[in-house]
Amino acid sequence: MADIIQIRRDTASNWTSANPTLANGELGIETDTSKIKVGDGSTAWSSKTYLVDVGSYLTATSTNTLSNKTLAATTLSGQLTGADQTVSAINLKDYGEITNAIGNATGAKTIDLTLGNSVTATTTGATTWTFSNPTASDELCGFSIKLVNGGSATQTWPASVDWPAATAPTLTTSGTDVLVFTTCDGGTTWYGFVAGLALA
């Protein structure tokens, strides 16, 4: 039968109240905080610093908040929010972009980049487009839109869009077009390009 090793343990308030002196190398754990101290045979509990704060580590990892950590191969089990922080020296493999499927487009429509950088829509009437929530100024931000039947009704693009030769493209009346928009000044100026017209 395997031996059972138990660590001296109690609640944080009880440790503080008793304020014992742990033997040299003896461990003490706070059962309600998961914090650990190690004794040296001469220093009382309240004067010792924590060796490990397991509770804080578990909280940080469970909420996907890591600071100055080195990760080995790992698999994410949920969404990871970067909060507009910089990620450097990485290689991307087998990645995808979230699609914001607008569906039928008529009237006023907003392309909100927090919903995805791939956009799809089908024109069902004259549409006035607005772009919202690009990344901050000096960062490149872009999106593509697959627009079906875009030429069947008037498309009014934001005044901030600069087109080649200052002319918006003539879109396909019955078919699929793909347009690409980029900005590097927080959306003050967008650059619009045709990736393909009448795709089939």
Reference 130, options 161, 101, 164; nearest CA is 161
CATH of 8-62, one of 1.25.40, 1.20.5, 2.10.10, 1.10.10: 2.10.10
Reference 145, options 123, 166, 163, 173; nearest CA is 123
Helix-then-strand count for the chain, H and E: 2, 11
174/142 Cα distance (integer angstroms) = 26
Query: What percentage of the chain carries pLDDT values higher than 70?
Result: 88
pLDDT tens digits, residue range 111-123? 999 999 999 999 9
- 176-185 vs 190-199, strand pairing mode: antiparallel
pLDDT tens digits, residue range 71-112? 677 777 777 777 777 888 889 889 899 999 999 999 999 999
Query: What percentage of the chain carries pLDDT values higher than 90?
Result: 60
Q: What is the DSSP letter of 114?
A: G
pLDDT tens digits, residue range 153-177? 999 999 999 999 999 999 999 999 9
132/111 Cα distance (integer angstroms) = 6
CB 19 within 8 A of CB 44: yes
Looking only at Cα atoms, what is the longest distance across the chain? 85
pLDDT class of 133 with cuts at 50, 70, 90: very high
127: number of Cβ within 10 Å: 21
pLDDT class of 5 with cuts at 50, 70, 90: confident
The helix (H) or strand (E) run that includes residue 57 is: helix 54-62
194/173 Cα distance (integer angstroms) = 15
pTM of the prediction? 0.66
Within 8 A by CB and 6+ apart from 90, the residues are: none
pLDDT tens digits, residue range 42-70? 999 999 888 755 555 555 445 555 566 66
Strand partners, 53: 35
172: number of Cβ within 10 Å: 20
CB 109 within 8 A of CB 127: yes
